[in-house]
Amino acid sequence: MDMRRRSFLAAGAAGAAGAAGAATLLSGAGTAEAATKAPSRGPAGFLAEDAPLRELAAKIGLRIGSAIIPQDIDTPTWNAIAASQFDVYTPGNEMKWQVVEPEQGVFDWSGADNLVNFADANHALVRGHTLCWHNQLPNWLLAAVAAGDYTQTQLLDLLQQHIFTEVGRFRGRIWQWDVCNEFFLDANPSGIDPNNWWIVNAGPEVIPLAFRWAHEADPQALLFYNDYNIGGEDGTNAKSDAVYAYATQLLDDGIPINGIGNQGHLDTQYGWSPQLLRQDLERYVSLGLKVAITEADVRTFVNNATAQVPTDNLALFAHPFEYTEMLKAVLAVPEAISFTVWGFTDSDSWVPGTFAGEGYAAIYDVNQNPKQAYYSLQSELAVAAHGAPHRVQTYTPPITRPIS
C-alpha cells in the first residue's frame, strides 16, 4: 500500500483528516510545501483544494445544501462552514408543525425566520421541510385526533390552515417545499402505507390536497414529494416503482407536483446501486419532474457516539465512495437541481441517536474537520465545473520517417 494512502487511513481512523493532508491527496504531491502551493496546471480556476462546494457547483447551476439547525447559525465555526460551503438550507426541524405551532393557535416562527434570514444574508436558497409528515406533529393535534375530537373533514381543514399559514408566511422566499414526506411502505410490493397517521385519519386525498393548498399559498415554489429508499437502496426497486406510479397518477390528475426528493440516507452495511439511483432519477425526470438529493448521509459502525471512529477501515473507502456516487448520479441528470447533506458535521448528526453503534455519517468529523468525503465531493464538482485539467506539456518526439 502506498504511503499517502496509509497515512490518510490513519488520519481518517483518528477522525481528523486535516485540510493539508487531503490537499496532498488531491494534488498527488508528497510534501506539505507542495500541498500549499497552487498547482499551475489546468484551466484557470481549477484549484479544487481551495474552492468551496457551493462555488464549484454554481458553475454548473447546481445548488449544494445542508440541513441547518440553530447551532449551525449560533456557533461561529459552524456558521462559517454553513455560510461558505452551502447555498441552499433545509431547516432540520424548525419548519415542522410541532415546532411552529406548539400549542393550538400559538405560533413560534423564531427558528424558521432565523433560518430564512440566514439564507438571505448568505445569498442561499431554502428548502422548506416539511408540511405533511406523520412525525413531529404537535402534541395537541395528536391528542385531539386520538380522542376523536375531529372528523376527517375537520382534520383536513386544520392541515389546510397549517399549510396556508406556513407557506403563506414565507411566500416568495422558499425555493422548494417538501410538501409530503415518507408516505410509502418499505415493502415489495410497496404503495402508500395504509397505517400512515395521515392516511388513517384524513384519508388518501390528503396528499393531492396538500399539494393543491401549497401551490395556492405560493404558486412560485417548487413542490416536492420526499422519501427514502427510492433511489437504488432497495434491490427490488419496489418503493421507487410505487412512488413513480403515484407521481404519474398525480400528474395525470393535474396535481401541482414539481419534483421528487430522494433523501439518500445510506448505510455502508447494506447494498446500494449507484446505477439504479441514476435510473430512478431519470425515470422521475421522464415525467417532467425535477429531482433532488435532499438528506444525504452515509452511516457506518463506529467505536462510540462521541468520537465516531469507524470500526472497519473499509468504511473509510465506502463512505466517500457512496457520497461521490450519489453526487455523480446528480451530475449526470441535468434536472437534478440540488444535492443536500443532512447536516454537515458528525457533531449534530441524527444517526448516533437513532441507530445504535452507528455514526460517522456526515462529511465533516466531530471536530468540524472536512473528511475525505468532503474532498471527494469537491473533486467531483471541480471536474464537473471546469472539465478535467489539461495534461502538462511534454516533449513529443517528431516521427517524420519510418525507421529502416
Residues that bind ligand G3I (CB under 6 A): 92-93, 135-136, 181, 263, 295, 350
If residue 315 lies in a helix (H) or strand (E), which one and from where to where? Answer: helix 315-332
Q: In sequence order, what DSSP letters do the residues of 189-223 get, joined into one string?
A: S--B-TT-HHHHHH-TTHHHHHHHHHHHH-TTSEE
Q: Closest separation between CB of residue 349 and ligand G3I, Å?
A: 8
Q: How far is the CB of 92 from ligand G3I (least distance, A)?
A: 5
| Cα 285 from Cα 363, distance rounded (Å) | 28
Q: Which residue is nearest to ligand G3I (CB)?
A: 350
Q: Which residue, 55 or 322, has its beta carbon nearer to ligand G3I?
A: 322
Question: What cell does 50 get?
Answer: 481551495
Q: CA-to-CA distance for 183 and 133, rounded, in angstroms? A: 8
Nearest approach, Cβ of residue 293 and ligand G3I (Å):
13
Strand-pair partners of 280: none
- CB count within 10 Å of CB 65 equals 31
| Dihedral sign of CA atoms 305, 307, 312, 316 in order | positive
Q: Which is nearer to ligand G3I, 56 or 126 (CB)?
A: 126
Radius of gyration (C-alpha) of the chain in whole angstroms: 23
Contact, 141 vs 173, CB < 8 A?
no
What 3-state class would DSSP assign to 138? coil
As measured in angstroms, the least distance from the Cβ of 365 to ligand G3I is: 18
For ligand G3I, give the closer residue by CB, 135 or 275.
135
Burial 366-384 (b: 16+ CB within 10 A, else e): bebbbbbbbbbbbbbbbbb
Q: Cβ of 388: how many Cβ atoms within 10 Å?
A: 11
Minimal distance, residue 227 CB to ligand G3I, in Å: 9
Smallest separation, CB 200 to ligand G3I (Å): 19
Which residues are the active-site residues? 182, 295
- Residue closer to ligand G3I by CB (options 8, 198) is 198
Q: Which helix (H) or strand (E) holds 224?
A: strand 222-227
**Nearest residue (CB) to ligand G3I, 36 versus 93:** 93
Q: What gap in Å lies between CA 307 and CA 15, rounded to an integer?
A: 7
Q: Considering beta carbons, is residue 26 or 69 the nearer one to ligand G3I?
A: 69
* Distance (Å, whole) CA 378 – CA 385: 10
